[in-house]
Amino acid sequence: MDKPFLDKLRKIDPYVPGEQPQATDVVKLNANENPYPPAPGVQEVLRTFDASSLALYPDANGRRLKAALAGRFGVKPTQVFLGNGSDDVLALAFQSFFCSDQPILYPDITYSFYPVWCDLFRIPYETVPLDADFCVNVRDYDRPNGGIVLPNPNAPTGRGVSLDFLEDLLQHNADCVVIIDEAYVDFGAQSAVPLLNKYENLLIVQTMSKSRSLAGMRIGYALGSETLIATLEAVKNSYNSYTMDALALAVGEASVKEEAYFQDTCRKVIATRERTAEELRALGFTVLPSLTNFLFVTHPKKDASVIFEYLRQKNIFIRYFKLPRIDNYLRITVGTDGQMDRLFAALKEFL
């Protein structure tokens, strides 16, 4: 049958998130989730939350959570923007700041959602190749552009850049918005927060999904100048006033108040990451230095896709990207020591 309306539908290749296996006895190391539970204060909010309050709309401005984040980062509440996970914040930032005809720039190997948003919002872009060691060269960004987005540390490589690098990047790109995606920054990289009050064109995006064990709650935020944040608010309020639900706002606020638990969880993940890197090197893997909660590895003698499939059969889920330059690499999320022991045992068997 003829369906002439089909020509008018949007055609797009969507982002594909890590698989969420349904089996119970799995070792899930494929989505950079945190293996530890959220802070006790978060659990208390969930136990005592007043369901009848859900009859009302949430605070569209998220004042309490903004105040908590502003306090933690030493900025004004008007320098904080909230969203339904940092994907929501990034998507709104792309729409708010990448509005010129010039291409935006980001690394050739990076978070695979960026090209999807460029396609969705019809933003021109150019990718900038990482060097042979997967490092970013700041001078590659000295050229006319419509904006820059850079994850620090980068994903899926795990490599970070220094504060000097970020300042250099900002100094040479004062005529566009520079977004630093700090999804993994709490696992040992240098945050751009100290540069916030010096560079009005800097937007930092962070998430509670990784270091605060709240991927299921969807809480992301941005820190920036009042000008950038006001623009983001205007775009958000032209689209959906209530991206953050009442429970997420309360949970986020409780999490920010638990600094000691947060620091302790990050320390545990970092310790397991370093131990995992050592074990994998002993098994013959090349392991990139990582400042994240995952490791990016390759084996000189074994095909990454074969290792991936072997582990999958054993109910151990890691991530494999069939993409140029990285199709012989594997991304392994850092789990608990017990989960990593199961990974090592399976790899020993395979090798």
Minimum gap (Å) between residue 144 Cβ and ligand PMP:
25
3-state SS assignment for residue 264? helix
Phi first, then psi: what are they for 221, rounded to 5°? -155, 160
As a whole number of angstroms, the distance between CA 294 and CA 280 comes to 13
DSSP character at residue 168: H
As a whole number of angstroms, the distance between CA 291 and CA 189 comes to 6
Query: Which residue pairs from 170-175 have beta carbons closer than 8 angstroms and sit at least 24 positions apart in sequence?
Result: 170/195, 170/198, 170/199, 170/201, 170/202, 172/138, 172/141, 172/142, 173/141, 173/145, 173/148, 173/201, 174/199, 174/201, 175/201
Size of the site for ligand PMP (CB under 6 A): 12
Site stretch for ligand PMP (CB under 6 A), options 4-12, 82-90, 96-104, 303-311: 82-90
By CB under 6 A, name the one of 58, 220, 224, 252 that touches ligand PMP: 220
Residue 86 touching ligand PMP (CB under 6 A): yes
Residue 107 touching ligand PMP (CB under 6 A): no
Residue 34 touching ligand PMP (CB under 6 A): no
Closest CB to ligand PMP among 31 and 283? Answer: 31
The number of angstroms, rounded, from the C-alpha of 327 to the middle of its chain's C-alpha atoms is 21
Minimum gap (Å) between residue 262 Cβ and ligand PMP:
16
Residue 181 touching ligand PMP (CB under 6 A): yes
Binding track over 188-217 against ligand PMP, x by CB under 6 A = -------------------x-x-----x--
Omega of the bond leading into 153 within 30 degrees of 0 (cis): yes
Site stretch for ligand PMP (CB under 6 A), options 84-92, 188-196, 281-289, 327-335: 84-92
Contact 290, 277 (CB under 8 A): yes
Minimum gap (Å) between residue 265 Cβ and ligand PMP:
16
By CB under 6 A, name the one of 111, 134, 221, 329 that touches ligand PMP: 111
Count of C-beta atoms within a 10 Å radius of residue 78: 13
Side chain identity at 275, as an amino acid letter? Answer: R
By CB under 6 A, name the one of 35, 38, 58, 85 that touches ligand PMP: 85
Minimum gap (Å) between residue 87 Cβ and ligand PMP:
4
Closest CB to ligand PMP among 111 and 308? Answer: 111
Closest CB to ligand PMP among 31 and 67? Answer: 31
How far CA 312 is from CA of 6, 16, 224, 307, in Å, comes to 38, 18, 41, 8
Residue 151 touching ligand PMP (CB under 6 A): yes
Give the interface with ligand PMP as residue ranges (CB under 6 A): 85-87, 111, 151, 155, 181, 183, 207, 209, 215, 220
